[in-house]
Amino acid sequence: MARFDLTDFEWSVIQPLLPTKVRGVPRVDDRCVLNGIFWRLRTGAPWADIPGRYGPHTSGRPGCGREYWRPCRRLTRVTSR
């Protein structure tokens, strides 16, 4: 686990908010993808520069993984209250 990756406690809070239905291509590990999204947002690096430990860079891009962005917006609303 990298320095800024989700802790077990943080993951236990986020995991129930993620969709559970699997359609189409099997999904990459949700925790890894979210860590990759957070890494990209924190660093401002291009999507293609996301480290391999977070899965394929196409998994976290907004156009390719909309199911990950809905919970992120939901979390933003919850935490901003």
What are the residue ranges spanned by the domains of the chain? 29-81
Which H or E element spans position 72?
Answer: helix 66-79
73, pLDDT greater than 90 = no
pLDDT band (50, 70, 90) for residue 79: low
pLDDT at 10: 92
Helix, strand or coil for residue 69? helix
pLDDT tens digits along 33-66: 888 888 888 888 888 888 888 877 676 555 444 4
Residue 51 has which token pair? Answer: 């480290």
Pairwise CA distance, residues 75 & 16, whole Å: 11
Tell me what the pLDDT averaged over the chain comes to: 75
72, pLDDT greater than 90 = no
SS3 content of the chain, % helix, strand, coil (to 5): 60, 0, 40
Left (φ > 0), alpha (ψ -120 to 50) or beta: where does 26 sit?
A: beta
